[in-house]
């Protein structure tokens, strides 16, 4: 997927216009805190216009207050508009990809050219080299290379074929070679591309449970401060002074949590945007939040924890055989073997003994390919029959040849299997030369990643179809907390349910139809884009890169979203507390001189104190927009450590920054003589 630009000139211009549009009270009503600010702005503006109508010219102070109150609403709208604008930039790029695509639909025994918009679920279409796939579907026949760069951003083409876990195709991708017969799986407007456009635009981004809970908290705090401000007027009248409605509204806006209220929506939109930048499509904001609260990660072994290809790591010769002799024979038998295992044997022989590839044409070499029946491969050269294969297959081969099977080789093969490896026996005619140790290599750095997750309180569980011994060996090497061996789809589903019954949130990845029940049951189910349609429909996220390791990044993004929301909420509430103790003493020190002792900032006048606080309140929103969009720095720490850092940095900072900011603004206003 094409990435959104940072803060381009056009994006900022569009965001400004959107900020004005969002002044609509129907739009503001979606955010109760900012709607109250909007109501205060509208009320004070009407009162100002009334005073100007009757000829009152002493309104400069109120005019400044009202302007900055409107700026507060505008900046909150601007923050949301910037976040939405980045998503809309991605949506526009995707719309260009979709375009008007023709299609060939099977009708009345023949292929008929139709527009893609007329396709319905269940239709059968034909696509060939050069065609753009018009809709999502499942491959019925054929195999082809497909360019998915418009969706995934990955330039390398991928193979799509009928049957298996790579039978799904996505509308908007392009056929590079061969042909496919595809059954359409969605109706118009429901394609993967349509959903992406809708989601990145934010059109379907509803409030998540955490957002709703936080909104309720903010409303509660707003009501409390509203009650505080309302009671100030009776106290003022009792003290034979008065506070204007404009001043009271300004005080209310400064005390209620406008900072987090103005940034809350932008934080959620930016969280989804960060996920999209990693080529993961979340079907809802709820899924991202759930990722941040995950307790258990279920990870497939192959391709996630390990590289997925068994690699030769050791030559273990039989008694009386030199290691170089074993390496030479193994290399000869692997020269025509294009599998990753075969290529790794050639590489290992070159690295260990500098054995180079040889010209076997002149030697009249005859290569024996691997078959499922023989489970062996090899080469016939210069009267020698060199074979390599699985242990039992080689046992049968040696028996037929009339050779002997060394007991030491049996022990070596068993030891390799117990370590989680695969033994590959090599024989020259009827002589057993030894064993090649094939190992499913654990990915570099994966153990450290699991340690980070453990510090965050997240349990990692490896899922594999291997036997118990092999699974245990790889689990120990990778550093996972637990494993499930010889796993079936039913086993995965039962495991997820057992963790959920313990009150845990579970995340997992999958790509096949057999993974669909588990993906649907998991709290966070990440389906691979290369997988089946059933898997993608069952999951609540789709990884367009089809990288199972991405699940760890998804959890980190979810954690960062929750950390950002918590940090800015802490900062906002601390701001309100600081502004309360900064403004109130200055506001009443004329009536109650003793309150002057609490005016620790030495604010010039009550009017300057209020105006400085209003200006600071507006500017701090705009200052925090980059942090809201970028997110706070993610660190793999436990909840207690995150809370301590949050309180110290954002709680303490939220108390100190208003005092400094308001004082600086007060000094500027005094120098300018405007308050």
> Alpha-carbon distance 164 to 144, whole Å?
14
Query: What is the tens place of the pLDDT at every residue in 111-143?
Result: 888 877 778 888 888 888 888 888 888 888 888
CB 285 within 8 A of CB 268: yes
Of the chain, the end-to-end C-alpha distance in Å amounts to 52
> Alpha-carbon distance 451 to 561, whole Å?
21
> Alpha-carbon distance 260 to 88, whole Å?
23
The secondary element (H helix, E strand) that includes residue 542 is strand 541-543
Candidates 300, 328, 466, 666; catalytic one = 300
Burial of 279 (0-12, 13-18, 19+ CB in 10 A): buried
Among 337, 378, 383, 382, residue whose Cα is nearest residue 363: 382
Count of residues for the chain?
Answer: 675
Report the pLDDT value the prediction gives residue 265, as an integer from 0 to 100: 83
Report the pLDDT value the prediction gives residue 98, as an integer from 0 to 100: 54
Among 239, 259, 258, residue whose Cα is nearest residue 587: 239
> Alpha-carbon distance 310 to 417, whole Å?
13
> Alpha-carbon distance 672 to 675, whole Å?
8
Q: At what angle do helices 258-277 and 192-201 cross, to 10 degrees?
A: 150
CB 299 within 8 A of CB 463: yes
Positive/negative CA dihedral, 205, 210, 213, 216: negative
Q: Which residue, chain included where needed, has tokens 């893609």?
A: 116
CB 526 within 8 A of CB 508: yes
Q: Is 300 a catalytic residue?
A: yes
Phi, psi for 255 (deg, rounded to 5): -90, -30
Burial of 351 (0-12, 13-18, 19+ CB in 10 A): exposed
Joined tokens for residue 578: 């600081």
CA dihedral 235, 239, 241, 245 (to 10 degrees): 0
* Residue spans of the chain under pLDDT 50: 1-5, 203-204
> Alpha-carbon distance 249 to 45, whole Å?
11
Those residues with Cβ within 8 angstroms of residue 225's Cβ, 6 or more apart along the chain or in another chain: 252, 255, 256, 576
> How far is the CA of 166 from the CAs of 139, 143, 458, in angstroms?
9, 10, 31
Does the predicted TM-score (pTM) go above 0.85? no
> Alpha-carbon distance 600 to 388, whole Å?
85
> Alpha-carbon distance 221 to 401, whole Å?
86
Report the pLDDT value the prediction gives residue 150, as an integer from 0 to 100: 64
């Amino acid at each position: 997927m094409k990435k959104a630009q940072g803060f381009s000139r056009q994006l900022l211009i569009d965001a400004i216009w959107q900020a004005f549009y969002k002044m609509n009270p129907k739009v503001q009503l979606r955010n109760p805190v900012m709607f109250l600010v909007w109501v205060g702005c509208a009320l004070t503006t009407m009162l100002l216009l009334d005073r100007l109508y009757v000829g009152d010219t002493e309104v400069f102070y109120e005019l400044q207050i009202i302007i900055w109150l409107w700026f507060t609403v505008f900046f909150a709208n601007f923050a949301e508009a910037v976040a939405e604008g980045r998503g809309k930039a991605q949506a526009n790029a995707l719309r260009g990809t979709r375009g008007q695509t023709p299609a060939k639909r099977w009708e009345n025994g023949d292929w008929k050219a139709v527009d893609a918009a007329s396709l319905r679920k269940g239709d059968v279409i034909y696509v060939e080299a050069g065609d753009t796939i018009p809709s999502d579907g499942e491959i019925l026949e054929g195999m082809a290379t497909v360019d998915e760069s418009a969706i995934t951003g990955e330039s390398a083409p991928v193979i799509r074929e009928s049957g298996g876990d790579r039978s799904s195709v996505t509308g908007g991708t392009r056929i590079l070679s061969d042909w496919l017969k595809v059954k359409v799986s969605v109706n118009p407007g429901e394609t993967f591309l349509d959903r992406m456009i809708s989601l990145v635009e934010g059109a379907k981004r509803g409030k998540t449970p955490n957002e709703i809970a936080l909104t309720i908290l903010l409303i509660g705090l707003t009501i409390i401060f509203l009650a505080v401000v309302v009671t100030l007027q009776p106290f003022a009248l009792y003290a034979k002074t008065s506070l204007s409605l404009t001043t009271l509204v300004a005080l209310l806006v400064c005390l209620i949590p406008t900072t987090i209220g103005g940034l809350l929506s932008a934080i959620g939109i930016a969280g989804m945007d960060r996920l999209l930048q990693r080529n993961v499509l979340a079907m809802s904001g709820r899924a991202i939040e759930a990722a941040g609260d995950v307790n258990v990660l279920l990870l497939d072994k192959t391709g996630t924890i390990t590289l997925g290809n068994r690699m030769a790591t050791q030559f273990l010769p039989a008694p009386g055989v030199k290691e170089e002799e074993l390496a030479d024979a193994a290399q000869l038998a692997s020269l025509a073997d294009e599998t990753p295992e075969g290529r790794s044997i050639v590489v290992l022989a070159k690295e260990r003994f500098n054995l180079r590839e040889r010209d076997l044409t002149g030697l009249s070499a005859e290569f024996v390919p691997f078959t499922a029946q023989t489970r062996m491969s090899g080469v016939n050269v210069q009267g020698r029959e060199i074979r390599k294969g699985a242990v039992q297959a080689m046992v049968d081969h040696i028996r037929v040849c009339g050779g002997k099977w060394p007991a030491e080789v049996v022990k070596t093969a068993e030891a390799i299997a117990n370590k989680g490896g695969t033994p590959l026996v090599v024989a020259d005619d009827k002589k057993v030369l030894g064993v090649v140790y094939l190992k499913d290599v654990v990915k570099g750095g994966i153990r450290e990643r699991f340690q980070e997750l453990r510090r965050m309180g997240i349990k990692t569980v490896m899922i594999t179809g291997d036997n118990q011994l092999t699974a245990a060996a790889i689990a120990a090497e990778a550093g996972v907390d637990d494993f499930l061996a010889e796993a079936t789809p039913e086993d995965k589903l039962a495991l997820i349910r057992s963790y959920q019954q313990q009150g845990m949130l579970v995340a997992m990845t999958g790509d096949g139809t057999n993974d669909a029940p588990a993906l649907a049951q998991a709290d966070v189910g990440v389906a691979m884009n290369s997988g089946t349609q059933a898997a993608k429909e069952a999951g609540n996220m789709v990884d367009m890169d089809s990288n199972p390791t991405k699940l760890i990044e998804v959890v980190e993004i979810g954690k960062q979203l929750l950390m950002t929301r918590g940090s800015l909420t802490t900062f906002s509430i601390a701001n309100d507390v600081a502004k309360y103790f900064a403004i109130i003493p200055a506001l009443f020190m004329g009536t109650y001189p003793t309150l002057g002792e609490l005016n620790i900032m030495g604010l010039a006048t009550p009017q300057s104190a209020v105006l400085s606080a209003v200006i600071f309140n507006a500017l701090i929103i705009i200052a925090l927009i980059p942090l809201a969009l970028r997110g706070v720095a993610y660190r793999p720490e436990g909840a207690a450590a995150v809370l301590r850092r949050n309180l110290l940095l954002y709680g303490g900072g939220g108390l100190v920054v208003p005092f400094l900011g308001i004082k600086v603004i007060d000094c500027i206003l005094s120098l300018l003589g405007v308050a």
